[in-house]
Amino acid sequence: MKGFKDFIMRGNLIELAVAFIMAGAFAKVVESFTKIVMELIAKAGGAPNFDSWKVAGLTTVGPFLTALVAFLILAFIVYFFIVKPYEAAKARMGMADPEEELAEEITLLREIRDSLARR
Sorted by where each begins, the domain ranges of the chain are 1-46, 48-119
Give the residue from 5, 4, 26, 44 showing the smallest Cα distance to 81.
26
pLDDT at 29 over 80: yes
pLDDT at 103 over 90: no
The confidence score (pLDDT) of residue 39 equals 82
CB 61 within 8 A of CB 49: no
Q: What is the pLDDT of the chain when averaged over all its residues?
A: 83
